[in-house]
Amino acid sequence: MSKRGASPPPQGALIKRARSSSPPTNQIAISSSNDERQQALIRTVQRTSSLEAPIISLTGSHGAEVMSCRFDPTGQNIAASSADRSVSLWRTYSPNNNYGLLPNLHKAPILDLQWSLFSQVLYTVSADQTLVVTDLTTGQRVRKLRAHRGIINSLDRTMGGGAGVELVATGADDGTVKIWEGGDEGTKAPVSVFEIGCPVTSVCWSADGSNIYAAALDNEIHVLDVRKNEQVYTLTGHTDTPTSLCLSPNGSFLLSPSFSSQTIIHDVRPFSPSPARIHRVLMGAPAGFENTLLRGAWSKDDNGRRAAVGGADRTVCIWDVENGKVLYKLPGHKGTVTAVDFHPKEPISSY
């Protein structure tokens, strides 16, 4: 009587499947076959943020293109302004609901917005030449200033010196940069006015609030000293109009995309090792032919190791600032990505 031979090995590899109790949102099924019996494994992926999913689409609140979007200082909320003259308010985390819509704040497209640093108000500027302050607890407009004689393209805010007063800077097509007292009880007259001489596309405060960076149609970035009330120097290097300005979290570098599809990182430290003050030149975010003012941003959770700019190729380009290489091209939109912002505490971007 002979012994039975060994059983032939089964076809395919043995796969250990995850328990049914493990959360499915952190797993990815990987397979090269359509046969369910040969599905490969289920690999756990380490999530890096508190979002419910890697990509979340916030839709349904606007009837025209979104011009700007920003996280609030806590990272719990997102505000987006649109050409339909409204501002939508969203929750960053689940259920990601649209908890507020502020309609008809202006009489023309709202081109930029900023959350207040210390109070529950929102600043918006528009093509109707006005600066509006809205109380977010009531949804009511508390201040409206006829700020400029041209389209207002940009605004930024900072805490002024040791006075504890929030200051708002605006830049417009009338060739001026103006500083306003923020909050809901400021004066109607500007604190200071700077004449640039050509349309201003973007403004940005320095880290200490002593300077304002103003990008203009002359392809230069003008550095304005608030205390002396004069221009101290300019940043050059662009061959076409810079579209926006954003200061790095450490206050040492200035991100400036342009219509030439070239994004320059300027060194704005007091003593720069480069005479031209150009730290990096980044390529990969096409500006397109629409001449849209594309807004860039720095990552804040890692102290500015990454920079991002939207493009006419319907993606957001994210670079590693240290070596200038493209890290990601994030898709999802059907048109030009006009604005991008990073969460203040987590690796989350909104665009």
Provide DSSP, 229-263: TEEEEEE---SS-B---EE-TTSSEEEE-BTTSEE
pTM of the model: 0.85
User: Is the CB of residue 213 less than 8 Å from the CB of residue 222?
Assistant: yes
Residue 24 clears pLDDT 70, i.e. is over it: no
Residue 329 clears pLDDT 80, i.e. is over it: yes
* Cβ within 8 Å of residue 187, ≥6 positions away: 181
Q: Residues 173-193: pLDDT tens digits?
A: 999 999 999 888 888 899 999
CATH number, position 157: 2.130.10.10
What pLDDT score does 272 carry?
Answer: 86
Cis peptide before 95 (omega within 30 of 0): yes
Task: Tell me the two tokens of residue 147.
Answer: 């700020």
- Residue 207, SS3? coil
- Residue 303, SS3? coil
How far is residue 302 CA from its own chain's centroid? 15
What is the C-alpha separation between 152 and 168, in angstroms, rounded?
Answer: 13
173 within a domain of the structure (yes/no)? yes
68 within a domain of the structure (yes/no)? yes
Phi, psi dihedral angles at 319 (to 5 degrees): -110, 155
197 within a domain of the structure (yes/no)? yes
The pLDDT mean for the chain works out to 87
138 within a domain of the structure (yes/no)? yes
66 within a domain of the structure (yes/no)? yes
What pLDDT score does 113 carry?
Answer: 95
Query: Identity (one letter) of the amino acid at 281?
Result: V
Element (DSSP H or E) covering residue 202: strand 200-205
Task: Tell me the two tokens of residue 80.
Answer: 């987006």
User: Is the CB of residue 123 less than 8 Å from the CB of residue 168?
Assistant: yes
Most confident of the following: 25-34, 153-162, 277-286: 277-286
For β-strands 130-135 and 121-126, DSSP reports them as: antiparallel
Residue 61 clears pLDDT 70, i.e. is over it: yes
Mean pLDDT confidence for 1-17? 52
195 within a domain of the structure (yes/no)? yes
What is the C-alpha separation between 36 and 43, in angstroms, rounded?
Answer: 16
What length does the chain have? 351
Tell which wins on pLDDT, 144 or 25.
144
Phi, psi dihedral angles at 143 (to 5 degrees): -145, 140
What is the C-alpha separation between 23 and 5, in angstroms, rounded?
Answer: 43
10 within a domain of the structure (yes/no)? no
What pLDDT score does 44 carry?
Answer: 56
What share of the chain in percent tops pLDDT 70?
Answer: 86
- State the residue range of the domain holding 300: 51-350
Tell which wins on pLDDT, 337 or 48.
337
Mean pLDDT confidence for 206-224? 95
What pLDDT score does 148 carry?
Answer: 94
262 within a domain of the structure (yes/no)? yes
Q: Buried b / exposed e across 222-260, counting CB within 10 Å, b at 16+?
A: bbbebeeeebeeebebbeebbbbbbbbbeebbbbbbbbb
Residue 116 clears pLDDT 70, i.e. is over it: yes
What is the C-alpha separation between 332 and 316, in angstroms, rounded?
Answer: 9
Tell which wins on pLDDT, 292 or 42.
292
Residue 20 clears pLDDT 90, i.e. is over it: no
Element (DSSP H or E) covering residue 99: strand 98-102
Residue 325 clears pLDDT 90, i.e. is over it: yes
Task: Tell me the two tokens of residue 285.
Answer: 């975010």
* Cβ within 8 Å of residue 6, ≥6 positions away: none
Q: Residues 96-110: pLDDT tens digits?
A: 899 999 998 999 999
- Residue 38, SS3? helix
Cβ neighbours around 104 below 10 Å, total: 9
Phi, psi dihedral angles at 256 (to 5 degrees): -145, 100
What is the tally of structural domains in the chain? 1
Q: Residue 47 — very low, low, confident or very high, per pLDDT cuts 50/70/90? A: confident
What is the C-alpha separation between 298 and 275, in angstroms, rounded?
Answer: 24
What pLDDT score does 31 carry?
Answer: 47
- Residue 26, SS3? helix
